[in-house]
Structure 1
Amino acid sequence: MSTPRAETPPVTGRARLGPDELLMPSPKLRADQYLLVLVNACSAVDPVDSVGLSAATGIAAKNCGLVPVFAMNSGLLVKGHRRATYLPSEKGRYVARAFKRGEAEGLAAIRNKWKGQWFARAVKDRCRYGPVSREALVAKLLTAARAGSERIKRAHILLDLMVAVGLVTVEESGELHWFEGVSPAHAAGTDPHSANISREEARADDSAEESPTGEALSDTTEEASDRAGHEERSARQEGPEMPEAEVPRPRTEAPAQDQALVESGVGGDLLSLLLPPILLADLTRLTQAEVLELHSHLTAVTALTAKLRGHRVT
């Protein structure tokens, strides 16, 4: 008689982190709620628990208890003397002092303390060539955290949190970009003297930052490799050193192929040719092949001029 096999429990996602997985915030709180609990925890004078955070913020205690773990991993909190209690670290106290001076300074303080974290470095690396889509940054965070697709909600919350503190900004196109300065959403309320306050304090605290280990070292190596590869490709494209260019002397007479234009009174320079409006009826003088060639030339001139002016060509 065969022994009945135990039923396999349904797979609902990993309850614990994988061996090498990095922690991301819980999706049970919105980014603004997460930030509210975090600031209150950093402002605590005595050891605080989830019940105390709930009383201060109005958020359920079970959800407040999800914040300190990520805050400890990002360096803002440390464990208290009693079980399930927490205290602000030196970085956390720095953040609390900044928030007392104003929200803009507080957010700047969080950016200052988080810009060296693995998630900030991952996003900065992904945005090194310009704005990217939200999906691209979420995928980058999952890869950097060595997490599977079941953690995608956590990656979205982490990205929302970075937007909330101003590490990531939303472009007009809807794409996201790395930004180290003041978030545009808080720029209007920024004290003009805020940039000069506590700079010595920030530098002194940064000098005591821990050396990157584990993930930090691997990311640093990867960034160095990317830079080296980019420089090598640029060197190959540039080729051998070109001789110094000479400024051509002014022309005293028109070339033979432009002589007909000069004799017709139009003139040989490009400006005099382009200033009079060209009407659609004028295109009837060209063959189909010449119209296509004119279109390609004008498109190229437009693209190169926009590049020289610094505007993006879409």
Structure 2
Amino acid sequence: MNLIIEKHKKLVQLMEEINSCTGNFNGMTFFKTPSLAVSFNSYEVCFKEYVFYLYSLFIELPGVNLKFVEGKIHAQQVPVDKKTLNITKTVNFLRTINGHHTAEDKPLDKEKRNYCIDWYREVCGKDSPSIEPEFRTCTVELLNDTLAYLQAILDCVNDFVHNEFMDIIKEEWDRQANRNFTKYQWELELIEVLDRYDMNHYDSLEIVEKQLTKWSDRLKLLRDGFDFKAEARKIIEDYIAKDELWPASGDDLIAMGVEKGPNLKIAIAKAKALYYANPCPRREFLERLAKEFS
């Protein structure tokens, strides 16, 4: 465990150096320290806690900073391999598979599950770790890739200072920081809106993952200085108002005997109106539909 503790100290040190360098460059704080703690008793617990710790560090907290700097790494000719650059994807997928229920029939869940299996096989030789030495190996591998990634970020930000287009980079970074928001930030606003509409039976993260690009593109049309929370809720409310969110599909109606063609279009409109009049979870809604179209 001493090796993991030393690597954790190095991780914290790199975060502090990146924050210091970024603060000197453009006055921003690159990383916020995750509130989640990592314990160093059991290797299994340590690995699982690190996945959530790194998810908070890389996905929830940094805003546009990681995406912006990562996009500049190749331009700055910072030496880094593909495996290292994949650390945020690895952490994201491990967190989903370890911390959420996944469905066998959902392509995205299948992709994440297969990615994690491949990662585990490469690291510990099995589809998933099950004993302490395997969890130790996975934790060390996760930390090694994280440290290499953070070093690449630090090298890139340091290079900005000596770049002849330093002022342009500053302006571009600042503009992106005020135009791009994380899935986590969007999810918080979506949860609030769904609660208002009594529609909190949905998987908010799944909706955000599907709509993020469209919603973010709408923010790009706004003038500088807009209120993200207010504008995000308007966008989400518009999405709901267009009847784009309902827990069934045309396939469900066809299975209930609705004919394909114009009748199906009419039935979908009727079903959506039925749902929006009284939102409810999918199972309950399908029971209501069965009565309506029987």
Instruction: Name the TM-score, length of structure 2 as normaliser.
Output: 0.29
Instruction: Name the TM-score, length of structure 1 as normaliser.
Output: 0.28
